[in-house]
Structure 1
Amino acid sequence: MLPPSPGLCTPSPSLEFPCPSLTTPRVPHCPLVSHSPAGVPPSGVSLSAQPPGGQVALGDSLVLSCKVAIGTGPLSFSWHREGSGALPGTGPHLELHHVGDNDSGQYRCRVSDGNSVAESDPLNVTVLGERDPRAGDDPTHSTPIPPRQVPALSVSLQCPWPMPPSPLVPCHTSCVQVTT
């Protein structure tokens, strides 16, 4: 290590910086200045979604973004969905394309600096129009998209009438037969 030049501060092992004096030859050091450690652990991890609120229509895309309020790098990110462990994705954004029924659930982001880990609060993702799990593989039984959830979407409900081979009869949400 080179000796310090006048006016330049060099760190000591205690992270205090002694400086040679430029103006007073009798004072060997200027006042000590504290220096914070280089690695600040991550904290204040938050999660946001696009579309906002984590509500996405079946088949659409969803982007989750993880933000860190405090922390110095390098930082690594991991994504987790309740009940399924780690998800593919190591950056601050997780993109889900063509969301399906199994994409609903609580998501978390974990951030690590190699020494400590911070985790976001969970964000609930709801896939609108997901299939009713009680319906099995019957495509005529699905949960309708709630009104005013997805603008400019027209929903037509049809209920199979219980007497086969009758054609499908349009009906109200309570499945009362409409007479024409």
Structure 2
Amino acid sequence: MLPRLLLLICGLLLIANPSRPTEGSPVTLICKTHSLQRSNAQFQFCFFRDSRALGPGWSSSPKLQIAAMWKEDSGSYWCEAQTMTSKVLRSPRSQINVRRIPVADVSLETQPPGGQVMEGDRLVLICSVATGTGNITFLWYKGATGLNLQTKTQRSLTAEYEIPTVRESDAEQYYCVAENGYDPSPSGLVSITVRIPVSRPILTLRAPRAEAVVGDVLELHCEARRGSPPILYWFYHEDVTFGSSSAPSGGGASFNLSLTAEHSGNYSCEASNGLGAQRSEAVILNFTGKAQALESLPSPVPQEFTFLTSNSPTPGQLQPVYENGEPSQMTHTKVGRHSSEQKAVSTTVCTWRLSFGLELP
């Protein structure tokens, strides 16, 4: 009986379909028998790779389905067959090489989408590849200097990096890189904007004098120290709004008010940037009375008076003496009985420049 079986079964052949599989794709191994004539013998089959049995071991099925082949599954394959009464037959070895596809079209997305996130919220950076097989290494980077945030290696086309609680310092540009043994492929830059709600604003009243009076122009300045621009400010008098002003680039804003007697009372302001509004504390403004009209008096004209010392001649007797065209000193000539006896007597002249100041009542 045994020689007859050997004649009927001339050999085995292992067939792989497909013969050159791509990573991640399924493969079917078929152990095919070659015989001279038809036989009703029941065979048991077993498949091997590099001396290791595959699947469930010995089975009545001549086929073995492998759900996904990976680069590390490349190797030498064969199959064996036997019956209860025959010896084991072995197929020739077949080399199966699994092809790896390089990563391509790397992209970076955010959750929440759009790249805008509230301070304190969760931010997820999702790195994806359109194509690529095998174990893919994903790397996330922050800023132009490329600060590496995290590295993950997994058999997937996407990977995530999470910032559980976003802070203001997380506002930056980000990108990711993916590679699977070939050249690394980077994504484009994604800008992250951290939206910050406004803090409680501070209201400051600025008047032209220590005690404001009717007719003064009062400046109300409202400022929230923190908050993403643009910020809109509303101004209130006794909880009734009377004006608004915006700060497109952040910071504070002002509103000018010409005071009347009805403007005494409590003032406050409110800041909002679409992420919630905050109201300032109330500031009390009281008036001291009406402004007094002040009459403007002309400036006094300086007066010049000349005083002579004792024994000085009258002003009509004084004659100026010039040197090089400039007055040098004042002298007078005392005239006696005889015109030939003329004696020049030096006289001291004091000139005072007096200015009179007027004080308003």
Given the two structures, how large is their TM-score scaled by the length of structure 2?
A: 0.31
CA distance in 1, matches of 2:168, 2:151: 20
CA distance in 2, matches of 1:45, 1:36: 26
User: 1:91-170 counterparts in 2 under 5 A?
Assistant: 92-129=159-196, 140-144=224-228, 146=230, 157=233
- Which of these residues, 6, 12, 31, is aligned with residue 5 of structure 1? 12
Letter aligned with residue 41 of structure 1: P
Contact 1:43 1:71 in 2 (8 A): yes
Q: Deviations over 1:60-103 (max 9, x none)?
A: 11111111111111111110011351003526101112211211
SS in 1 for 2:188: coil
- Residue in 1 aligned with 2:112? 51
CA radius of gyration, larger in: 2
CA distance in 2, matches of 1:60, 1:145: 19
- Residue in 2 aligned with 1:166? none
Q: Which runs of 4+ in 1 moved over 2 A?
A: 4-7, 9-12, 88-91, 139-146, 155-159, 170-174, 176-180
- Which of these residues, 123, 126, 148, is aligned with residue 62 of structure 1? 123
Q: Deviations over 1:117-142 (max 9, x none)?
A: 111111111111289xxxxxxx9422
The unaligned stretches of length 5 or more in structure 1 are: 13-20, 26-34, 132-138, 147-154, 160-169
Task: State the Cα distance separating 1:144 from its structure 2 match.
Answer: 3.0
Instruction: Give the percent of matched residue pairs that are identical in Structure 1 and Structure 2.
Output: 27
- Residue in 1 aligned with 2:254? 176
Task: State the Cα distance separating 1:104 from its structure 2 match.
Answer: 1.1
CA distance in 2, matches of 1:108, 1:5: 54
Q: Return closer, same or farther for 1:144/1:93 CA change in 2, 3 Å cut-off.
A: same
- Residue in 2 aligned with 1:31? none
Q: Return closer, same or farther for 1:158/1:5 CA change in 2, 3 Å cut-off.
A: farther
Contact 1:171 1:178 in 2 (8 A): no
- Which of these residues, 136, 144, 147, is aligned with residue 85 of structure 1? 147
Q: Return closer, same or farther for 1:37/1:7 CA change in 2, 3 Å cut-off.
A: closer
Contact 1:40 1:71 in 2 (8 A): yes
Q: Return closer, same or farther for 1:176/1:122 CA change in 2, 3 Å cut-off.
A: same
Task: State the Cα distance separating 1:7 from its structure 2 match.
Answer: 6.0
Given the two structures, how large is their TM-score scaled by the length of structure 1?
A: 0.59
Letter aligned with residue 176 of structure 1: S
SS in 2 for 1:39: coil
The structure with the largest strand share of the pair is 2
Contact 1:63 1:95 in 2 (8 A): yes
CA distance in 2, matches of 1:130, 1:90: 34
SS in 1 for 2:120: coil
- Residue in 2 aligned with 1:28? none
Task: State the Cα distance separating 1:48 from its structure 2 match.
Answer: 1.0
- Greater relative contact order (Cα 8 A, min sep 6): structure 1 or 2? 1
CA distance in 2, matches of 1:40, 1:106: 29
- Give the RMSD, CA atoms, in angstroms: 3.9
CA distance in 2, matches of 1:144, 1:9: 62
- Residue in 1 aligned with 2:301? none
